[in-house]
Amino acid sequence: MAHLPVLAGPTIDYLVTNPEGVYIDCTAGGGGHLAMLLTKLTPGARVIALDKDQTVLEHTRERFERGRVDFVHADFRDLRAILDELGVDAVDGILIDLGVSSFQLDEPERGFSYHEDARLDMRMNREQATSAWHLVNEWPEEQLKKILWTYGEEKYAPAIARAIVQTRNKGEIHSTLELVEIIKSAVPARYRREKHPGRKTFQALRIAVNGELDALQAVLPQALAVLNKGGRLCVITFHSLEDRMVKLFFQEKSRSCICPPQQPVCTCRHQAELQIITRKPVVPGEEECEYNPRARSAKLRVASRL
């Protein structure tokens, strides 16, 4: 299934302030947002597209006219260094659309899907050494429980972590469907009948394998530093922890004084660097969620460089 870009219209409308400017899509994925972005820019604009997944990047590169976009296989956590390498000092818009693309979910051998049997992998960057196999077979029970709890918000985290460890004590856990069976054995029957019981565990493992929250934490200050005045940063999140991180970053950088509230006179000389454009996150309407269920948990936040 082709990847349907989430909140594409509002995102690109917010992102583009200068049709001749420099733009970076940090998460090219299937190129949905990228294609829409190009329709708003003049041929003189410069567009850079990153993805840490080489397979996805190559597939998407073929969709676009040669020379129109600079495709770079890179992790956006290295944003500043990537732009330095390309000789770009500053940009007018930065898009970060987090999570996994349909392209990755639809390739069974990547191990992202709990519907298809595959080796436990889930690495977006296949050059990375650590895969889901390592977490499932080698991480201590406590650590597994913690990620299922925090990244997956999985209420049966303790039982699932225990079942994983008990199973692997008898022999290695190889595949996605083996893991699904272990999860099913650890949760009540009622839970198995609601949504797919592997959903939250797979999400947690994917976030941990790919260091998704660390990458977001690392990129936000770099994004701010490379934005031109008036340039926009648009971030689409699918997880409450990610959204909170973006919200707090925007709040902190948009405050002109960070003195303690009880202090009568400002001494911090802190200056606001961002203006928040979306006081509340933009969320998809019912119609979008109906034709693209993946959009359901999406939240778009936008800020502008002062």
Interacting residue with ligand SAM among 75, 92, 154, 288 (CB under 6 A): 75
Beta carbons of 122 and 131 less than 8 angstroms apart:
yes
- Is the Cβ of residue 49 or residue 180 nearer to ligand SAM in the bound state? 49
In DSSP terms, which residues pair with 23 in a beta bridge?
Answer: 47, 93
Q: CB of 118: closest distance to ligand SAM in angstroms?
A: 17
**At 256, is the secondary structure helix, strand, or coil?**
coil
Q: How far apart are CA 21 and CA 78, in angstroms?
A: 21
Binding-site size, ligand SAM (CB under 6 A): 23
Helix (H) or strand (E) holding 94: strand 91-97
Q: CB of 57: closest distance to ligand SAM in angstroms?
A: 8
Interacting residue with ligand SAM among 59, 69, 77, 288 (CB under 6 A): 77
For 24, counting Cβ atoms within 10 Å of its Cβ (0-12 exposed, 13-18 middle, 19+ buried), the class is buried
288 belongs to the binding site for ligand SAM (CB under 6 A): no
Q: CB of 10: closest distance to ligand SAM in angstroms?
A: 13
Beta carbons of 206 and 122 less than 8 angstroms apart:
yes
Amino acid at 287: E
Interacting residue with ligand SAM among 92, 97, 242, 243 (CB under 6 A): 97
Q: How far apart are CA 162 and CA 98, in angstroms?
A: 30
Q: CB of 297: closest distance to ligand SAM in angstroms?
A: 12
284 belongs to the binding site for ligand SAM (CB under 6 A): no
Q: CB of 120: closest distance to ligand SAM in angstroms?
A: 18
Residues making contact with ligand SAM (CB under 6 A):
3, 5, 26-27, 29-33, 50-53, 56, 75-77, 97, 99-101, 124, 215
